[in-house]
Amino acid sequence: MTIELYKNSFVTLEEAENYFDERYDSNEWFELQESDKEKLLISSSKKVNSFDFSGSKADENQPMNFPRDYGTPQDIKDAVCEEALTMVKKSDNIHIQNQNNNITSISLGAGSVSYATASLSDEAKIILSPIASNLIKKWTKKGYYIPF
């Protein structure tokens, strides 16, 4: 699958490469094949796209939520990169897989592992990266409608 900017991704492969060149602890990114990098950027863009952002789409017929009437903030592009890297780092973590499968505890012989059952925020159900989540929050709608 090929990246088409603002059709399936908020970040080009070149932008992601530049981002990770300057980011500490991103070695896993450079070990990936180009096709896997593109899939990760597309997947993380789709996750970010699911949020309710402030402002309006630049063109109401565009397929994704960005660009907006204020453009595409660097925070959004950085969030896509952070989420892509977190997806790589956490993809083999059995504990995260168990939690995603709603497993609350596992016992093997005398050992056991229990997972917190506290409900996750809507954001945490979508975005794995806390860094990405914080970057996205700056641009989402806030407040509530209270009818009189």
Question: Positive or negative, the Cα torsion across 17, 18, 21, 26?
Answer: negative
Tell me how far apart the alpha carbons of residues 42 and 92 are, in angstroms, rounded to a whole number: 20
Place of tokens 């399936």: 8
Element (H, E) at 54: none
**44, part of any domain:** yes
**145, part of any domain:** no
**109, part of any domain:** no
Count of structural domains within the chain = 1
**69, part of any domain:** yes
Among the residues of 53-113, which ranges form H helices? 74-90, 94-100
DSSP letter at 118 equals S
- Per-residue pLDDT tens listing for the chain (148 residues): 799 999 999 999 999 999 999 999 999 999 999 999 999 999 999 999 999 999 999 999 999 999 999 999 999 999 999 999 999 987 665 655 665 666 677 777 777 777 665 555 555 568 889 999 999 999 998 766 666 6
**29, part of any domain:** yes
Return the pLDDT at 127: 86
Domain range enclosing 75: 13-93+122-137
Q: Can you tell me whether residue 130 is helix, strand or coil? A: helix
**146, part of any domain:** no
**38, part of any domain:** yes
Residues in the chain: 148
